[in-house]
Amino acid sequence: MVAYELKNKASVTTQGEHPADAYSAADRDNRQLQRLGKKPVLKRNFGILSILGFSCTILGTWEGLLGTFVNPLQNGGSGGAVYAFIFAWVGTACTFVVLGELGSMAPTSGGQYHWCAMLAPIKQQKFLSYITGWMAVMGWQTAFASASYLCGTEIQGTAILAHKYYNAEAWHGTLIVWAALVVSLLANLIGGKFLPRLEAVILVIHIIGFFGILIPLTYMSEHKNTDEVFLQFLNSGEFPTQGLSWFVGMTSCAFAFAGGDAAVHMAEEVNNATMVIPRALLMSVGINGCLGFGMLIGMLFCLGNMDDALNTPTGYPFIEVFYQGTGSMSGSLTMCSIILIIAVCSVVGLLAATSRQFWSFARDRGVPGWRMWSRVSPSNQLPMYSVLLTTTISWLLALINIGSSVALNDILSMAVSGLYSSYLIVTILLLVRRVKGDVARYNDDEDEIINLPGKKLVWGPFHVPGIWGIAVNSFAVIYIIIVIFFSFWPTAMNPSVTDMNYSVVGWGGVLFLATLYYVVRARHIYTGPVVEVSL
């Protein structure tokens, strides 16, 4: 095995470890990465607590649900929203189990496109891997833009509540989005080494903030009865059936769980990634699912006047619900402040994950200008060019809000369709390989290149064996197909030109341009994950 000399052995030393033990742990992680053909170039600063905080903050299910739960309310009603959330939670959990298995097999920042390359038939692996990479790029870039937009406009909505004479303009929201982007950029470039500590702190705020909002809200608000919450169904979109309306509204619950693979794209900065990554994925969906379900039930019982909530000038019904429930301006603003703090921190984490995914794809020559975007700064060992490009893309997408907030909502749908399209390809390929028995048992003692195109497929230390693995994998495939299909639907049966969901156009446009670039250039230089080391 080629020797790899660690430059900063002390940087991985944790409390209670001797330097030699820390070196051994870091050496083991780097050896695992080398078996995947990759040269370690990023610092491993994340442990289980910090990466769990990172994953939970980016998922931000209970916070994200507050910003988007108007859609399942309109298409599904209170009862529909409850069951839609449960369906999305179970489907996401199954999907995360599969992603956890793949992340344990190949813990690289590339994630989906690397997994596709190692699982696909050899004749199709190059193109399928390339398209999967572009679906992930589209999903993550639009997810970051969507989170930035939600953060900025939630700040603006809180300002509207606090100052009733404030004349809100769309361009004000865009400026606030830009401010959030600047904060996230500085946090990543200047305070990058403190990011793991920040994420651990935010995990605490994420959990304590939940109770800080839910307890006063449920204590001070008037409550609806159980039938109104669990048995009330609406079809405001006037779809032919209530079931169809429910599926359309369900996609917002799926968005509240989107971005679960964030920890995967930080894998090359995580200690003991083969086990920590799947644990972080499953723990984050468990924690966020419980908190999200609790917040949804609390909000539905305390909803008050639904028309006032849906037509609030703040643009976000949860802000109006806070004010109606507490009857206190200072109380509702304090509750909103908790949401805003977590929203800003979520944008910081999303920039890190999005830039790492893009950097990894550029490292394997999947994007134009890959030589520049794949550079890592020698001063801080961060992919600075990818961080700057990701920020610039969201900065430009925020301009759409000035012309149409509805158009920017389509970016949110593209985040769902893009991310879940990349999930779909790899979950199908793994299911086929799993049924055929093509993946060997885990063996940490081998010293050979594994889990690359044409190489031996080996399970990681996290694996669901037998019929249970097949069942979970199969349900994940079904769930992902449903989410992708309905993410392209408008929220009403007969939409106007301005209300139409154009995300399918954006999704198809990215797919077309990526294919065009593949035909013209990428097929000559992209071969899948590049083997950077030899064993």
Query: How many Å apart are CA 220 and CA 217, to the nearest integer?
Result: 6
Query: Any idea which of 135-139, 172-176, 239-243, 499-503 has the lowest mean pLDDT?
Result: 499-503
Residue 99 scores a pLDDT above 60: yes
Contact present, 359 and 386 (Cβ < 8 Å) = yes
Residues contacting residue 222 through CB under 8 Å, at least 6 positions apart: 302, 304
How far does the chain reach from its first CA to its final CA, in angstroms?
5
Query: Any idea which of 475-479, 480-484, 492-496 has the lowest mean pLDDT?
Result: 492-496
Angle (CA) 385 389 395, round 5°: 145
- What value does the CA radius of gyration of the chain take, rounded to a whole number of Å? 23
- The reported pLDDT for the residue numbered 71 is 87
Residue 374 scores a pLDDT above 80: yes
Q: Binning pLDDT at 50, 70 and 90, where does residue 495 land? A: confident
pTM: 0.89
For residue 62 the two structure tokens come to 């209970």
- The reported pLDDT for the residue numbered 16 is 38
- The reported pLDDT for the residue numbered 285 is 95
| Residue with the larger pLDDT of the pair 327 and 518 | 518
> Tell me: the pLDDT tens digits for 265-277?
889 889 999 999 9
- The reported pLDDT for the residue numbered 8 is 36
Query: How many Å apart are CA 169 and CA 275, to the nearest integer?
Result: 48
For the stretch 332-359, what's the b/e string if a residue is b when 16 or more beta carbons lie within 10 angstroms of its beta carbon? bbebbebbbebbbbbbbbbbbbbbbbbb
DSSP code per residue over 192-246: GGGHHHHHHHHHHHHHHHHHHHHHHHHHHS----HHHHHS---BTT--SSHHHHH
For residue 65 the two structure tokens come to 């649900």
The 3 state secondary structure assigned to 358-425 is HHHHHHCCCCCCHHHHCCCCCCCCCCHHHHHHHHHHHHHHCCHHHHCHHHHHHHHHHHHHHHHHHHHH
Query: How many Å apart are CA 256 and CA 63, to the nearest integer?
Result: 8
Residue 7 scores a pLDDT above 60: no
For residue 82 the two structure tokens come to 């409850």
Q: Binning pLDDT at 50, 70 and 90, where does residue 311 land? A: confident
Residue 20 scores a pLDDT above 60: no
- The reported pLDDT for the residue numbered 359 is 93
Q: φ, ψ for residue 489 (rounded to 5)?
A: -80, 145
> Tell me: the pLDDT tens digits for 376-418?
888 878 899 999 999 999 999 999 888 777 776 788 789 989 9
Residues contacting residue 66 through CB under 8 Å, at least 6 positions apart: 295, 299, 316, 318, 339
Query: How many Å apart are CA 157 and CA 164, to the nearest integer?
Result: 11
> Tell me: the pLDDT tens digits for 59-98?
889 998 888 888 898 899 999 999 999 999 999 999 999 9
Query: How many Å apart are CA 365 and CA 455, to the nearest integer?
Result: 20
Query: How many Å apart are CA 166 and CA 222, to the nearest integer?
Result: 29
Average pLDDT value for residue range 10-34 = 56
Query: Any idea which of 44-58, 386-400, 433-447, 477-491 has the lowest mean pLDDT?
Result: 433-447
Angle (CA) 283 286 289, round 5°: 140
Query: How many Å apart are CA 337 and CA 209, to the nearest integer?
Result: 10
Mean confidence (pLDDT) of the chain? 88
Contact present, 37 and 452 (Cβ < 8 Å) = yes
Residue 19 scores a pLDDT above 90: no
Query: Any idea which of 47-61, 297-311, 376-390 has the lowest mean pLDDT?
Result: 297-311
Could you give the C-alpha distances from 438 to 364, 458, 462, in angstroms and in order?
A: 25, 9, 17
Query: How many Å apart are CA 290 and CA 284, to the nearest integer?
Result: 10
- The reported pLDDT for the residue numbered 494 is 86
Query: How many Å apart are CA 367 and CA 372, to the nearest integer?
Result: 10
Query: How many Å apart are CA 74 and CA 307, to the nearest integer?
Result: 11
- The reported pLDDT for the residue numbered 404 is 74
- The reported pLDDT for the residue numbered 24 is 61
Q: CATH classification of 48-525 is 3.40.50.1980, yes or no? A: no
Most confident of 392-406, 426-440, 445-459: 426-440
- The reported pLDDT for the residue numbered 426 is 96
DSSP, res 526: -
